[in-house]
Amino acid sequence: MILRDPVHGLVSFEAEDHSIVEELLAAREVQRLRRIRQLGLTSFAYPGADHTRFSHALGVAHVMSRFIERMRHLHGDLPLHQRLNAERAEDVLAAALLHDLGHGPFSHLFEVAAPLGKSHEHWSERVILEEGTEVNAILRRRDPGLPGRVARLIRGEHELPYLARAVSGTFDVDRCDYLLRDAHFTGVSYGRFDLDWLLRSLRLSPDSADGRAPALAVDGQKGLPAIESFILARLFMFQQVYFHKASRASEWLLGRLLARLAEIVCNDGSGLRLPAGLSDILRNGETTLGQYLDLDDSNVWTALRELRDHKDPILRDLSDRLEHRRLFKSFELFGENASHEGRAECLAIAREVAEAKGFDANYYVGLDVPSVVAFEDQKDPIRVVFADGSQALPADVSFLLSRLSDQVVTRPRLIFAHELRDTLTNILHERRGAGTPGAQAGLAGGNLEARSPHRSGGAR
């Protein structure tokens, strides 16, 4: 099978152990990903960002096929039980293709906007493991143990660390594709990095003294620039695309809309025409696998659009705003206002302004604090291997990565209805002293702070 891809060019799955990709593509659970946007509502900010989870899944499988090719150039010195044989190649290809199978409508946004629901990883595992799905049937026909092995790989579990980290790790094939794909369709250059050189720089770490399987590593001379560019590409994409104010405001608006809808569903859901899976998740966070898989962007959009005629004024108004892209406005916080105490005080001010103008502050004012760890040393991190066989952590040999290691980038903002903008921004400008050097730094790219054990960084 040969496909044309706008990101990777010609994508081929022609080797014998690639046949599982073409077979799985025919499964209805995989085809459903054509109806799930990769970046949720980001097209409100970047009009070209309409690509789907389906194209991303294919891209990840393609990058994995290239990773397999690279590993087969490297594993010759390993004992047979540690090599990448045909069965393992099939396992990791299937895991790469199916890793996002359980995403709901609007991708990651659905998990945030409907917090009672299960994670997409939960649903992915159910699709893979439960009998009755086409994906499960295809995997079991090839090998009864294949569904379990694929599910474990997606969780980042495998007896060979270099395979586990390729599916789920700092430099995994998922990130390799989504950075390039999201950059391409949003039209920005921030997410581009040298994938060819990164793959070429991969190594297997020397055998450990106790005979454990080797881990994934990079060449000490050639690999550092490749991983530095990768880390910077990811950081810049979060700052400029994933944390974009219009994208975050639209996501927050959808979250408030679903929160109001959940309140009505729980109190009196009569007269609402909602997909059964959506109604169940809003009510109690659970639904059947079949009803969950029936949810996609199109039928949820249709249901939300019909709420413009609902008797509840807040539900009606929020639905109309989202439908016509009348997004809420935002005000970025930095300096003292970005501290936990400052955020709370600014939010209290915003709530007072909203209530004074007749708006329900629970739905028309909020605080958005997205965050991401710039570079995180994992429990089993990738190693840098030098010609003499010595090894080091990337942060120990890279000035850039040492500075970024465990740093959390945040973009705290107040979000509020546009009717409140003039009054609220005047108050907040007086509070922070507009035009100070700190203002410019905050607007440029967010706040950088050391990671705390009580904080968690966002991740895609």
* Residues 116-146 pLDDT 10s: 888 899 999 999 999 999 999 999 999 999 9
Which of 327 and 391 is assigned the larger pLDDT?
327
Q: Are residues 209 and 232 in the same domain?
A: yes
Residue 161 is assigned to a structural domain of this protein: yes
- Is 114 a residue whose pLDDT tops 90? no
> 3-state SS string over 47-102?
CCCCCEHHHHHHHHHHHHHHHHHHHHHHHHHCCHHHCCCHHHHHHHHHHHHHCCCC
Across 51-60, 103-112, 425-434, 440-449, least confident range: 440-449
Q: Are residues 203 and 178 in the same domain?
A: no
Q: Are residues 63 and 162 in the same domain?
A: yes
- Is 444 a residue whose pLDDT tops 80? no
CATH number reported for the structural domain that contains residue 8 in this entry: 1.10.3210.10
Residue 358 is assigned to a structural domain of this protein: yes
CB 71, CB 139: distance < 8 Å: no
Per-residue pLDDT, averaged over 398-402, amounts to 91
pTM score > 0.85 for this model? yes
Q: Are residues 234 and 357 in the same domain?
A: no
| Phi, psi torsion values for 159, nearest 5 degrees | -70, -20
The predicted pLDDT at position 421 comes to 94
- 35, two tokens: 């109806």
Whose structure tokens read 């904080």?
455
Q: Are residues 61 and 191 in the same domain?
A: yes
Residue 289 is assigned to a structural domain of this protein: no
- Is 443 a residue whose pLDDT tops 50? no
The predicted pLDDT at position 459 comes to 45
321: number of Cβ within 10 Å: 20
DSSP 8-class letter at 409? E
Q: Are residues 121 and 226 in the same domain?
A: no
The predicted pLDDT at position 366 comes to 95
Reported as a single tens digit per residue, the pLDDT across 303-348 is 999 999 899 999 999 999 999 999 999 999 988 888 899 999 999 9
What is the count of structural domains for the chain?
3
Residue 301 is assigned to a structural domain of this protein: no
The predicted pLDDT at position 457 comes to 38
- Chain-wide mean pLDDT for the chain? 88
Q: Are residues 443 and 359 in the same domain?
A: yes
Q: Are residues 152 and 237 in the same domain?
A: no
The predicted pLDDT at position 211 comes to 63
The predicted pLDDT at position 69 comes to 93
- 301, two tokens: 């959009």
What pLDDT band is residue 460 in, cutting at 50, 70 and 90?
Answer: low
Q: Are residues 123 and 203 in the same domain?
A: no
Instruction: Collapse the DSSP code of 202 into the 3-class scheme (helix H, G, I; strand E, B; otherwise coil) and give the result.
Output: strand
What pLDDT band is residue 378 in, cutting at 50, 70 and 90?
Answer: low
| Phi, psi torsion values for 366, nearest 5 degrees | -165, 170
d(CA 216, CA 218): 7
Tell me the residue range of the domain where 227 lies.
196-242+377-397
The predicted pLDDT at position 452 comes to 41
Residue 402 is assigned to a structural domain of this protein: no
Percent of residues, the chain, with pLDDT higher than 70: 91
CA within 13 Å, CB half, 182:
26
**Domain final position from 195, 229, 250:** 195
Q: Are residues 416 and 433 in the same domain?
A: yes
- Is 260 a residue whose pLDDT tops 70? yes
Reported as a single tens digit per residue, the pLDDT across 158-190 is 988 889 889 988 889 999 999 999 999 999 988
Residue 268 is assigned to a structural domain of this protein: no
Q: Are residues 203 and 182 in the same domain?
A: no
Per-residue pLDDT, averaged over 433-441, amounts to 42
Q: Are residues 9 and 132 in the same domain?
A: yes
How big is the chain by its Cα radius of gyration, in Å? 24
